[in-house]
């Protein structure tokens, strides 16, 4: 035990800490206060592995509640306010004099002088959603000022505060842990399994899985050493690992800050979530073994880099993390995984390489792609079939894809054959252009056409957008899978849910409506009281529209004027207008009695 600990201290811990410390030194320490009253409590770490993106900030726990005060992390100027139905919902950006910007998302409401400004801005522009970037210094805030209340607005699936620290100049998102925001944590991450792949002509074959446990490993602290030597034939290999972090007082596992692979003490590959650009977060689909994730719902993080993967968090050798084993060599592989607090686990695997062997899996794979057309990363590829036209962009794929295309008969509810374009188990980065031909559609229905998508496994159709022109419906595709043309001529529905006193703002009345659309989706929701535009909050994830009764629509002077003319009505008329993405409209009026 002593020997191993000594080796660990001498060789590996410094290697990791040199990296981490160098990273942390670049950033100001403890400049920003925690934006909530509680102690640092992470629901989701920086760079967490999400469907289609790396988490671009950290999620701070609000104990399942909304309405906690959110504080400015340091002195600064408000530089941007963004209100949207999805995404970060109600968000606020503050520029600080030290060159960093803090971002606060999913707010329930804004507080302080900015709240009034936003309310006015929405009424002047008659829009709930807006994205205002202030080119000149706007409102100043002091460290600790309440700028809003925490909430669950936008694309949030439970109350929390989404918090980011960005470099103001580059807009790169920085790991807040490197600026001192680290919750107390002494638990080591774990390496659940290591996957070993062989490379074949632009493809990957899973050859072996190693699941370390107390039987096949010698375990000393968090340092695991495989008892048995790993035998492989001479070839080029890639490695991947399933690894998680654990923190106190949380049952669910988190994603790690950094992991790496060393071969005989030389770095082969390292991924470190120091900072990255917002636009890079989709590289998650190349970072993971995407097909494995699609099939098994398990996220294997690769220790090698696809040709089309430009994620900036990697350090790798000249082979981009791919390991070439020569006949009869031996040595050891060291897998390492660390959290932001520096807690680290290690897995050492001794290996012995045999001679070059014929590999049946490789032959089977090569036969499976024989004669198939290919899509290459970095190139435009045109694909044309009767009734179908596809243009793949240079960044559409991460690696060469030998694809299949099938034309299936027209299915019930669709207006074109179904074009089965490869498989949704292969990721797409940049959306591609896709056009499908339609025959004999009456003129008045042409504007109601759009593309439908379903993944290779289900028959569930979802809208892929697109518009009709000259006999074709043209749109974009974000996934491989099945495409066809459908018609959406059905308007959204509007239902009154409840009119009640507001829990969030007890002095006002709150009106909730349910709106739903059958296919293309809700494009716009507008509301009026006695003909004057009112501010509605539309929450797509709950199909809910909320109006909080305020006085803007009906000012005191209007009331005086109306009463002077003897026109004080006994009720107000609230009108809702809803339109979907194919121009199908619905509207309804509701009477609100005056108290
Ligand atoms: Zn978040």
Measured in angstroms, how far is the CA atom of residue 54 from the centroid of ligand 1? 10
In this structure, of 124-128, 175-179, 218-222, 283-287, the range with the lowest mean pLDDT score is: 218-222
Name which of 337, 171, 363, 355 is nearest 269 in CA terms: 337
Helix or strand or coil: residue 268?
strand
Measured in angstroms, how far is the CA atom of residue 80 from the centroid of ligand 1? 18
Give the model's confidence band at 571: pLDDT under 50 very low, under 70 low, under 90 confident, else very high. confident
pLDDT at 99 over 60: yes
Measured in angstroms, how far is the CA atom of residue 263 from the centroid of ligand 1? 35
Measured in angstroms, how far is the CA atom of residue 387 from the centroid of ligand 1? 42
Measured in angstroms, how far is the CA atom of residue 24 from the centroid of ligand 1? 22
Measured in angstroms, how far is the CA atom of residue 581 from the centroid of ligand 1? 28
Measured in angstroms, how far is the CA atom of residue 47 from the centroid of ligand 1? 10
Give the model's confidence band at 8: pLDDT under 50 very low, under 70 low, under 90 confident, else very high. very low
Measured in angstroms, how far is the CA atom of residue 393 from the centroid of ligand 1? 30
Q: What pLDDT is recorded for position 500?
A: 76
Section 397-403 average pLDDT: 94
Model pLDDT for residues 411-442, shown as the tens digit of each residue = 988 999 999 999 999 999 999 999 999 988 89
Q: What pLDDT is recorded for position 231?
A: 97
The answer to whether the beta carbons of residues 582 and 489 sit under 8 Å apart is yes
Give the model's confidence band at 548: pLDDT under 50 very low, under 70 low, under 90 confident, else very high. confident
Model pLDDT for residues 160-194, shown as the tens digit of each residue = 999 999 999 999 999 999 998 887 889 999 999 99
Measured in angstroms, how far is the CA atom of residue 553 from the centroid of ligand 1? 35
pLDDT at 502 over 70: no
Measured in angstroms, how far is the CA atom of residue 117 from the centroid of ligand 1? 26
Q: What pLDDT is recorded for position 20?
A: 57
Measured in angstroms, how far is the CA atom of residue 58 from the centroid of ligand 1? 5
Section 489-501 average pLDDT: 89
Q: Tokens for 424?
A: 């949704």
Section 95-112 average pLDDT: 96
pLDDT at 561 over 80: no
pLDDT at 10 over 50: no
| pTM as predicted | 0.89
Measured in angstroms, how far is the CA atom of residue 213 from the centroid of ligand 1? 33
pLDDT at 557 over 80: no
Q: Tokens for 107?
A: 């707010």
**DSSP letters of 34-97?**
PSSSS---EEE-TT-EETTEE--SEEEE-TT-S--EEE-SSSEEEEEEEE-SSTTSEEEEEE-T
Model pLDDT for residues 228-261, shown as the tens digit of each residue = 999 999 999 999 999 999 988 777 889 999 999 9
> How far apart (Å, rounded) are the C-alpha atoms in residues 69 and 51?
30
Name which of 32, 179, 66 is nearest 504 in CA terms: 66
> How far apart (Å, rounded) are the C-alpha atoms in residues 318 and 550?
63
Measured in angstroms, how far is the CA atom of residue 21 from the centroid of ligand 1? 25
CA 67 to chain centre: 25
> How far apart (Å, rounded) are the C-alpha atoms in residues 226 and 217?
4
Measured in angstroms, how far is the CA atom of residue 42 from the centroid of ligand 1? 10
Give the model's confidence band at 132: pLDDT under 50 very low, under 70 low, under 90 confident, else very high. very high
Q: What pLDDT is recorded for position 507?
A: 58
pLDDT at 16 over 60: no
Measured in angstroms, how far is the CA atom of residue 156 from the centroid of ligand 1? 8
Q: What pLDDT is recorded for position 11?
A: 44
Give the model's confidence band at 109: pLDDT under 50 very low, under 70 low, under 90 confident, else very high. very high
Residue entry with tokens 């202030």: 134
- Name the CATH superfamily housing domain 42-179: Glucose Permease (Domain IIA) (2.70.70.10)
Reduced DSSP (H G I as helix, E B as strand, rest coil) percent helix, strand, coil of the chain, to 5: 15, 40, 45
The answer to whether the beta carbons of residues 411 and 375 sit under 8 Å apart is no
Measured in angstroms, how far is the CA atom of residue 57 from the centroid of ligand 1? 6
Residue entry with tokens 């496994």: 457
Q: What pLDDT is recorded for position 591?
A: 87
Measured in angstroms, how far is the CA atom of residue 188 from the centroid of ligand 1? 23
Residues contacting 90, CB < 8 A, separation 6+: 83, 105, 106, 107, 108, 109, 110, 148, 151, 153, 154
Q: Is 64 left (phi over 0), alpha (psi -120 to 50) or beta?
A: left
Q: What pLDDT is recorded for position 107?
A: 97
The fold of 373-487 is: Chondroitinase Ac; Chain A, domain 3 (2.60.220)
Rg of the chain on CA atoms, in Å: 28
Measured in angstroms, how far is the CA atom of residue 164 from the centroid of ligand 1? 8
Give the model's confidence band at 595: pLDDT under 50 very low, under 70 low, under 90 confident, else very high. low
Q: What pLDDT is recorded for position 19?
A: 53
> How far apart (Å, rounded) are the C-alpha atoms in residues 585 and 525?
10
The answer to whether the beta carbons of residues 307 and 377 sit under 8 Å apart is yes
More confident residue, 79 or 412: 79
Measured in angstroms, how far is the CA atom of residue 457 from the centroid of ligand 1? 29
Measured in angstroms, how far is the CA atom of residue 287 from the centroid of ligand 1? 20
Measured in angstroms, how far is the CA atom of residue 166 from the centroid of ligand 1? 14
Q: Tokens for 9?
A: 């201290």
Signed CA dihedral, 271, 272, 277, 278: sign only: positive
Q: Tokens for 521?
A: 């989706």
Q: What pLDDT is recorded for position 406?
A: 95
- β-sheet bridge partners, residue 109: 149
Q: In what order do the strands lie in the sheet with 481-487?
A: 405-408, 418-421, 481-487, 449-454, 462-465
Do the strands 223-226 and 344-353 form a parallel or antiparallel pair, or are they unpaired? parallel
> How far apart (Å, rounded) are the C-alpha atoms in residues 490 and 516?
11
Measured in angstroms, how far is the CA atom of residue 50 from the centroid of ligand 1? 10
> How far apart (Å, rounded) are the C-alpha atoms in residues 293 and 285?
10
Q: What pLDDT is recorded for position 203?
A: 85
Model pLDDT for residues 195-236, shown as the tens digit of each residue = 999 999 878 999 999 999 999 999 887 899 999 999 999 999
Residues contacting 247, CB < 8 A, separation 6+: 42, 183, 185, 187, 254, 339
Residues contacting 87, CB < 8 A, separation 6+: 105, 154, 155
The answer to whether the beta carbons of residues 116 and 124 sit under 8 Å apart is no
The answer to whether the beta carbons of residues 239 and 208 sit under 8 Å apart is no
> How far apart (Å, rounded) are the C-alpha atoms in residues 470 and 446?
10
The answer to whether the beta carbons of residues 547 and 509 sit under 8 Å apart is no
Q: What pLDDT is recorded for position 562?
A: 62
Give the model's confidence band at 549: pLDDT under 50 very low, under 70 low, under 90 confident, else very high. confident
More confident residue, 393 or 44: 393
Q: What pLDDT is recorded for position 221?
A: 79
More confident residue, 307 or 14: 307
Give the model's confidence band at 594: pLDDT under 50 very low, under 70 low, under 90 confident, else very high. low
Percent of the chain with pLDDT over 70: 91
> How far apart (Å, rounded) are the C-alpha atoms in residues 13 and 188?
13
Measured in angstroms, how far is the CA atom of residue 539 from the centroid of ligand 1? 17
Domain 493-593 has CATH 1.10.4100: no
Give the model's confidence band at 565: pLDDT under 50 very low, under 70 low, under 90 confident, else very high. low
Average pLDDT, the chain: 90
Measured in angstroms, how far is the CA atom of residue 573 from the centroid of ligand 1? 39
Q: Where are the domains of the chain?
A: 42-179, 190-362, 373-487, 493-593
Model pLDDT for residues 20-59, shown as the tens digit of each residue = 555 656 899 989 999 999 888 888 889 999 999 999 999 9
Section 286-303 average pLDDT: 96
Signed CA dihedral, 247, 252, 255, 260: sign only: positive
Measured in angstroms, how far is the CA atom of residue 280 from the centroid of ligand 1? 16
Residue entry with tokens 């057309």: 373
pLDDT at 514 over 50: yes
Q: Tokens for 316?
A: 């790798």
Measured in angstroms, how far is the CA atom of residue 16 from the centroid of ligand 1? 27
> How far apart (Å, rounded) are the C-alpha atoms in residues 347 and 467?
53
Name which of 584, 546, 534 is nearest 123 in CA terms: 534
Residue 448: count of CB within 10 angstroms of its CB: 18
């Amino acid at each position: 035990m002593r020997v191993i600990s000594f080796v660990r201290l001498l060789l590996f811990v410094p290697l990791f800490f040199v990296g981490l410390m160098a990273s942390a030194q670049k950033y100001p320490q403890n400049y920003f206060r925690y934006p909530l009253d509680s102690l640092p409590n992470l629901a989701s770490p920086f760079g967490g592995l999400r469907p289609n993106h790396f988490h671009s900030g950290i999620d701070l726990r609000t104990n399942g509640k909304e309405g906690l005060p959110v504080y400015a992390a340091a002195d600064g100027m408000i530089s941007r306010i963004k209100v949207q139905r999805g995404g970060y919902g109600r968000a606020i950006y503050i520029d600080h004099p030290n060159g960093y910007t803090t971002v606060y998302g999913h707010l329930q409401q804004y507080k302080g002088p900015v709240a009034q400004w936003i309310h006015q801005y929405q009424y002047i522009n008659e829009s709930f959603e807006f994205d205002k970037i202030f080119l000149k210094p706007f409102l100043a805030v002091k460290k600790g000022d309440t700028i809003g209340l925490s909430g669950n607005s936008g694309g949030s699936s439970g109350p929390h505060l989404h918090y980011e620290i960005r470099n103001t100049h580059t807009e790169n998102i920085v790991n807040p842990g490197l600026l001192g925001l680290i919750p107390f944590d002494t638990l080591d991450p774990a390496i659940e399994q290591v996957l070993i792949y062989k490379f074949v002509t632009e493809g990957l074959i899973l050859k072996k899985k190693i699941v370390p446990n107390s039987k096949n490993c010698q375990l000393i602290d968090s340092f695991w050493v495989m008892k048995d030597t790993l035998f492989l034939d001479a070839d080029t290999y890639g490695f991947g690992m399933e690894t998680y972090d654990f923190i106190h007082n949380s049952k669910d596992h988190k994603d790690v800050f950094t992991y790496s692979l060393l071969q005989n003490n030389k770095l082969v590959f390292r991924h470190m979530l120091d900072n990255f650009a917002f636009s890079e977060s989709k590289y998650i689909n190349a970072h993971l073994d995407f097909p494995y994730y699609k099939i098994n719902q398990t996220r294997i993080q690769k220790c090698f880099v696809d040709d089309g993967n430009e994620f900036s968090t990697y350090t790798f050798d000249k082979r981009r993390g791919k390991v070439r084993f020569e006949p009869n060599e031996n040595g050891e592989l060291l897998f390492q995984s660390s959290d932001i607090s520096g807690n680290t686990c290690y897995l050492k695997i001794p290996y012995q390489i045999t001679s070059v062997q014929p590999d049946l899996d490789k032959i089977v794979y090569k036969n499976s792609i024989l004669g198939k057309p290919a899509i290459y990363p970095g190139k435009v590829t045109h694909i044309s079939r009767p009734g179908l036209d596809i243009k793949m962009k240079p960044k559409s794929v991460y690696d060469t894809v030998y694809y299949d295309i099938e034309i299936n008969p027209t299915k019930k509810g669709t207006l074109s054959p179904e074009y089965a374009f490869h498989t949704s188990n292969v990721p797409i980065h940049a959306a591609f252009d896709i056009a499908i031909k339609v025959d004999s559609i009456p003129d008045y229905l042409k504007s109601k056409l759009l593309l439908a998508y379903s993944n290779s496994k289900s028959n569930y159709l979802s809208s892929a957008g697109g518009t009709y022109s000259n006999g074709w419906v043209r749109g974009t595709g974000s996934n491989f899978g099945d495409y066809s043309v459908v018609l959406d001529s059905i308007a959204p529905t509007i239902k009154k849910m409840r009119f009640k006193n507001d829990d969030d703002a007890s002095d006002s009345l709150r009106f909730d409506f349910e709106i739903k659309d059958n296919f293309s989706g809700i494009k716009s929701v507008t509301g009026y009281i006695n003909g004057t535009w009112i501010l509605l909050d539309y929450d797509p994830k709950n199909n809910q529209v909320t109006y909080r009764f305020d006085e803007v629509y009906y000012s005191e002077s209007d009331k005086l004027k109306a009463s002077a003319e003897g026109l004080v009505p006994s009720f107000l008329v609230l009108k809702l207008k809803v339109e979907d993405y194919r121009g199908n409209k619905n509207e309804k009026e509701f009477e609100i009695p005056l108290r």
